[in-house]
A and B are shown apart, each in its own frame.
Chain A
Amino acid sequence: MPSNDMLARYLQAVGFWLPPATKQDIIAEISEDLHSQIDDRAASLGRPLNDAEVAEILKQRGRPVVVAGSFLPQHQLIGPIMFPIYIFVLKIVALCYFLPSFVVWLGYVIFDPSFGGLHELGMFWSLVWTAFGIITFIFAVLDRTSNRSKFISEWDPRKLPKASHKQPSRKRRDIGAIVFGILYLGWLLVVPDFPYLVMGPAAYFVKFATVWHSIYPWLIALAVAGILEATVSLLRGLPAWEPPAFKIANNCVCLWLLNMLWSAQTYFIAQAPQFQQYAVAANLIARICIAGTALGMLIALVAEAWHLVRALTEPRESAVTRIA
């Protein structure tokens, strides 16, 4: 009986995913239910079901692993009570330990040519995963062993931290833009004297080509414009349409500069004739980076254009409210 064979194969496939203790019992019940369905359908048709009809019933019941899964208890490594604390701890560890470590690693890569950057990065990566695993394990254990009902009920509203009056997000964004804009401008101003800051150890082999002389003043101007825009926004407030309009203008200038770079073809020249192959490699990498950046800028341009349209078509009141 091919139909019976199909049914047996289906039940075996479901049973594969079930725990041995309850497997036989569950399979017997599913088998009985499927047989009842098949008998019922056969009685209504007045004939035995063919293979296609049995297959249809099995398909309707569901993929074996899904059917078996519905009988298994819902497992979760960390429950909803512990999960927000777990995420908070992960963020703290990432921010206070891994981010500074990464910055130090980056500093070594840029300023110390003898530093084995890749090897250290591999070690750092392993460390990240180990820490992630340990924190997850600790929280999984805590979740299983802690007294949840006590955790939920025993707390005192009077011991909660004082309410903080957060600044509006726009202001925070402006302050961030000013701080990072000044840092970027400072970095940009010292780059001609310290090409290491851009090229790292490669500065020993190659130097900037002349095309950068015409690009550089524009980069300074864009950085200054960014700081000015954020400062005006912070001090006086700007209409909702201004940030996307500014970014569109900024992106257009950047795309024009990228086009200039793309046409130039040579971005780095060898410090000495024997380093020519490094210059070729650096130019190739730079060309790929320019193409990638241009693509990213184009996507950002479309996104900002959309933001601008929304800002212009939004009701006036909501735009004013957002600025306030």
Chain B
Amino acid sequence: MESEVFENLRLELRRGSLILAVLAQLRTEQYGYVLRKSLTDLGLAIDENTLYPLLRRLETQGLLASQWREEDKRNKRFYRLSTEGEAILARLLAEHEAMNAALDRILQAATDAPGPEEEREETNAIQ
């Protein structure tokens, strides 16, 4: 039960980050298989059944442009960030940085705050 809850939350947490990673990685043109490998090599493994539908969705939204081209005697679909995608990515990255900074401050504040044990000790010392 606990692991199921964790898994759902983990997927939720990953969802936004994956989009950001895919958009950022496609600043240089790549086809699906190479993109997935490069993301895995950089520490962000992504399932094929998540990546390819995501690429199509981003393309439908106008953030990516694609082109079928022959390479190594096989037809491959190459994706790259569109002009609109670049603008959106810049805004998303700014948002991501702001969120990360806020989260860092929240976590730091939580670490600095005295725990229940310390509070009790302080109260006893005053008395």
Contacts and interface: CB of A to CB of B under 8 A. Distances in A.
Chains A and B are bound partners: yes
Contacts of B48: 33, 61
Contacts of A35: 74
Q: What size tier do the contact residues of chain B reach? A: 10 to 19
A62 interface: yes
A305 interface: no
B75 A32 contact: yes
B49 A33 contact: no
Contact of A32 (B32, B50, B56): B32
Contact of B75 (A26, A28, A61): A28
A37 B33 contact: yes
A88 B42 CA distance: 49
Interface string A52-93: 000000000110001100110000000000000000000000
A318 interface: no
B49 A62 contact: yes
Interface in B50-84: 50, 52-53, 56, 68, 74-77
Contacts of A61: 48-49
B122 to A, nearest CB: 25
Interface residues of A, number: 15
Nearest to A32: B76
Contacts of A36: 33
Interface string B25-39: 000000111001000
Interface string B10-52: 0000000000000000000001110010000000000011101
A30 interface: yes
A29 B49 contact: no
Contact of A71 (B53, B68, B74, B75): B53
A16 B50 CA distance: 20
Interface of B: 31-33, 36, 48-50, 52-53, 56, 68, 74-77
7 contacts: A32-B31, A33-B32, A33-B52, A66-B49, A67-B49, A70-B49, A70-B52
